[in-house]
């Protein structure tokens, strides 16, 4: 982008921001959300997450998983049980099976970001057999202290289906998301657009969950802000401490000294940075 184009982009972004503040700056809690967004920007988390998204491939496409079945998500099974079938979706701002699946994929990308490598089969089991999705859906911004798998029964999913947007809250959400995406990307190609839509799906789902947890049938501006606060918190949390480590049943191999170390039940590959000899460790699945 040359100087003239850059000046035009900055002017356009400034206009979007000023219009947003003029329209929505009176909403309680909006400025802390804007500040948190910029903190993640300064920490390069948005850039890092987008790089994972841009290079993303289905983890199973790189695996020989004939010897071990693919882990099933209990949340996705519960979604289907409660009438949200694959292939059936509503409008962009309602929830469906696809909305939950987007959160499922988003968490795989976030786990990839934290591990700094492509996922292997044991990673998928450790992630999807943890209660992390239940924590997020049932606890939102207190997911790190909430254990909610016992509480997310059929009633929870039925209530989510019965939640509607307050008209003003939906307008607020659209404008807030547009502000963030406009700041994040100067250009909007295929990858940028798909990243935007995935984040939007995740936020829509969290806003619905917030309304349910507040015993409300309508999504208000406070639910929108809680959805963003939840997203920002999960981005800034080391989720490796929340996965189910017992599914890492393989060995660590040092490529320098050929030493093998079998992992214990409460250990995972990412608990070790290097071998005692200083060599690099490689995880070898037991399957």
Q: CA-CA distances (angstroms) from residue 31 to 28, 60, 169, 195, 255?
A: 8, 41, 16, 24, 50
Handedness of CA 262, 266, 270, 271 (dihedral sign): negative
* pLDDT of 7: 60
Tally the C-alpha atoms within 13 A of residue 186's C-alpha that lie toward its C-beta: 9
**Mean pLDDT in the chain?**
88
pTM of the complete model: 0.89
Digit-coded pLDDT (tens) for 217-256: 999 999 999 999 999 999 999 999 999 998 998 889 998 8
Asked if the model's pLDDT at residue 112 lies above 60, the reply is: yes
Strand ranges in 81-185 using DSSP code E only, listed in sequence order = 164-165
From CA 236, how far away is CA 230, in angstroms rounded? 10
Q: What is the pLDDT of residue 88?
A: 78
Helix (H, G, I), strand (E, B) or coil at 88: coil
d(CA 203, CA 14): 24
For residue 1, is pLDDT > 50? no
Q: Among candidates 91, 92, 107, which has minimal Cα distance to 52?
A: 107
User: Residue 228 corresponds to which tokens in the numbers above?
Assistant: 């963003």
Tokens for 37, please give them: 């967004």
Q: How confident is the model at residue 2 (pLDDT cuts 50, 70, 90)?
A: very low
Starting from the edge strand earliest in sequence, which strands make up the sheet with 260-262, in order? 260-262, 251-254, 281-284
Beta bridge mates, 165: 219
Nearest to 204 by CA among 89, 111, 284: 89
Q: Read off the tokens for 202.
A: 């995740």
DSSP state of 25: T
Domain boundaries of the chain, sorted by first residue: 3-245, 248-284
| Confidence category of residue 5, pLDDT binned at 50, 70, 90 | low
């Amino acid at each position: 982008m040359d100087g003239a184009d850059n000046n035009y982009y900055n002017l356009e972004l400034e206009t979007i921001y000023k219009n947003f503040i003029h329209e929505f700056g009176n909403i309680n809690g909006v400025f802390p959300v804007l500040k948190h967004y910029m903190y993640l920007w300064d920490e390069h988390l948005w850039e890092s997450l987008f790089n994972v998204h841009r290079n993303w491939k289905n983890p199973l496409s790189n695996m020989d998983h004939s010897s071990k079945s693919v882990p099933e998500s209990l949340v996705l099974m519960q979604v289907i049980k409660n009438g949200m079938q694959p292939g059936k979706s509503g409008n962009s701002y309602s929830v469906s099976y696809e909305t939950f699946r987007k959160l499922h994929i988003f968490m795989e990308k976030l786990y990839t970001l934290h591990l700094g490598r492509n996922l292997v089969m044991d990673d998928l089991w450790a992630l999807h057999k943890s209660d992390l999705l239940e924590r997020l859906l049932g606890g939102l911004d207190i997911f790190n202290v909430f254990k909610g798998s016992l509480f997310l029964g059929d009633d929870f999913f039925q209530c989510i289906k019965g939640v509607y947007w307050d008209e003003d809250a939906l307008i607020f959400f659209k404008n807030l998301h547009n502000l963030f995406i406009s700041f994040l990307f100067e250009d909007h190609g295929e990858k940028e657009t798909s990243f935007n839509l995935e984040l939007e799906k995740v936020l829509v789902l969290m806003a619905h969950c917030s309304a349910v947890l507040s015993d409300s049938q309508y999504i208000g501006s406070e639910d929108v802000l809680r959805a963003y606060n939840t997203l920002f918190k999960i981005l800034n949390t080391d989720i490796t401490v929340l996965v189910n480590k017992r599914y890492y049943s393989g060995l660590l191999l040092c490529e320098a000294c050929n030493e093998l170390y079998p992992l214990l039940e409460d250990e995972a590959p990412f608990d070790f940075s290097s071998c005692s000899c200083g060599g690099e460790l490689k995880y070898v699945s037991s399957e």
